[in-house]
A and B are shown apart, each in its own frame.
Chain A
């Protein structure tokens, strides 16, 4: 097994796609000379030069719009947001122009651009820097939204995103970038074998298609749906619950748009219980959408209501204890599974 960090997997994906397609370039704040604010793009300026690894000023509206214009012309931009929290100042570009260009032009001009960066709370960054954008943006037709939880998924999904003809939002996590740095200690044993992407030798053209959920842990008693960082909370919860004799199946949709509801429903039909974990706020969230679709497709197979675990409905606090308590953390998932399966 490769020991590879999540950030290295993202880098490998970009490097490989840039080597195979000259139209791909990376632009964002500090991506070049600084080697990436989070070192995702470390060494890429040296390899690809300043034409293709471009430091932009702090100007999200400007450079995200630039990416869309360049994509209309035929290039394949990767636009890095240091944090998805900063994308909000570029809302008109990324949720008006990017997803609607193909439609408004009657199919003439698309937007084959990738927007990627850190998503989610957990580093005591306060309310404005802790956005989880999946619920807002998964609602927009024309966008695709990927949210990888492991280095394997990070690499496979980002390569697919770069090749895709449509605008893709890749939601990464500052809290996951270093996962894998200390061997297997910081991730669950359940995904030990599927933690890393295949090496180039093993699979020189490794990609992961959108809209295909991954069963991160098979189980028979309850279905837990989680994507992105909460996958790790869910796996930790599953480990604890195993001791109580509850065998959880953890399903990671990997992309919220498209959503692989079939795999989720199939699991629910088997387990008859469902917990949906989602790191955004509960109201009108992706978790609410998953729950609604589970009801639509598997109402008769459910032996209890679907229980949702979200970020609490509050702005992210700075205080460390309170912030950890706000997240859809392991403890909340354990409680939810116990409740869902009448084990309270």
Chain B
């Protein structure tokens, strides 16, 4: 569906996948050139490329499975925004908590959730990360410090503040990253969260993944001062940063800088010595290629607009950077994409072959201390028991 560019790296769509998006190398003017010293080392760069490729190929398979009615409910595709999750997560420590909204598959994968558990969750299988009880919008991964996908717009912002409060309370050297879409900045929960984080100098990055639309409503139709989101941060005396959320290097750089400033912040109001830069509001300017959800006819934007954004594709941009600077060969890149496709196909296979959620799980996980019938204590998801047994 995406026309490949005539030159450069153009692998065809994944066989049997009519949703395939081609990856083409970027032209020179598309390639952002941060100073070399700010970039991660090459192996990490290559891994970041792989992460983005994996999310894209995974999401192509997700769309396919959704169209085959293998996946139900609401399903929000991350294609186009991969650089934001990957750039941000790559700049964090492994135990920095992250939390996000319902467009959450990319964050889960970037954080290290095995694609099998992610896909199985969408299939509603017992092998899913939440045993098939959460679905597409609720990707949780405790070992990877991923505190969920959350489905009510803005509802996760106060939770993110709670995570940051908890790391400060426990005197941990962490920063919490709280992602949300541009629709969330019109919600009260977002503003209350920003205020609390500011008064208590909490170590948190509030990240608007600004793809320009809250469902079908363009940001300037729903958000005051939409072209000056820094004003939102200023209102709370908070740092503000912008990044090109379609450029993984710029995103990484900004998150590294702001994360380090915020990490471990403490507040004298909470009985500690005032330290650290406190919260920051980051505007990650990005774009989703697909509709808001799988059921979105996208009448609110033109195909030209979408195609213009695809010209700045995050994967192509990084491929261009790697090739141009001779940091990776075309063959290596082809191999990565091949692997991403294979892992995504394997995830489908895993989900297809996994057992359905058994009825015996109907009354589990409602109470951690069940008080009696019909409620019973649940076991941990396979994702966790597998990891614990060293698989």
Contacts and interface: CB of A to CB of B under 8 A. Distances in A.
Contacts of B189: 61-62, 65, 92-93
Nearest to B138: A104
Contacts of B212: none
A166 B367 contact: yes
Interface string A62-73: 111111111111
21 contacts: A50-B269, A51-B272, A57-B195, A57-B196, A62-B161, A69-B162, A70-B162, A70-B163, A73-B167, A73-B170, A75-B169, A77-B162, A92-B152, A93-B158, A102-B366, A103-B133, A104-B130, A106-B133, A144-B367, A166-B368, A258-B372
Contacts of B150: 97
Interface residues on A, range: 35 or more
Contacts of A50: 269-271
Given A66-B165, A92-B152, A96-B152, A105 B369 contact: no
Contacts of B161: 62, 65-66, 69
B193 interface: yes
Contacts of B225: none
A211 interface: yes
A59 B195 contact: yes
Interface stretch (B19-27, B35-43, B61-69, B377-385): B377-385
Contact of B162 (A68, A104, A112): A68
Contacts of B97: 73
Interface of A: 25, 49-52, 54, 56-57, 59, 61-75, 77, 89, 92-93, 96-97, 101-110, 112, 141-142, 144, 164-166, 210-211, 258
B4 interface: no
Given A65-B161, A106-B381, A142-B366, 12 more contacts: A63-B196, A65-B158, A66-B196, A72-B159, A93-B158, A103-B133, A103-B365, A107-B381, A108-B130, A112-B368, A142-B367, A144-B371
Contacts of B293: none
B196 A59 contact: yes
B278 interface: no
Contacts of B270: 50-51, 54
Interface residues of B, number: 55
Contacts of B157: 65
Contacts of A101: 148
Contacts of A210: 371
A74 B195 contact: no
Contacts of A258: 371-372
Contacts of B164: 69
B106 interface: no
A141 B366 contact: yes
B378 A107 contact: yes
Interface in B174-220: 188-189, 192-193, 195-196, 199
Contact of B271 (A49, A96, A104): A49
Nearest to A141: B366
Contacts of B364: 107
A51 B159 contact: no
B129 interface: yes
B142 interface: yes
B13 interface: no
Interface in B341-391: 364-369, 371-372, 378-381, 384
Given A65-B193, A106-B134, A51 B368 contact: no
B80 interface: no
Contacts of A70: 162-163, 165-166, 169
B158 A61 contact: yes
B335 to A, nearest CB: 34
B128 A106 contact: yes
A69 B133 contact: no
A96 to B, nearest CB: 6
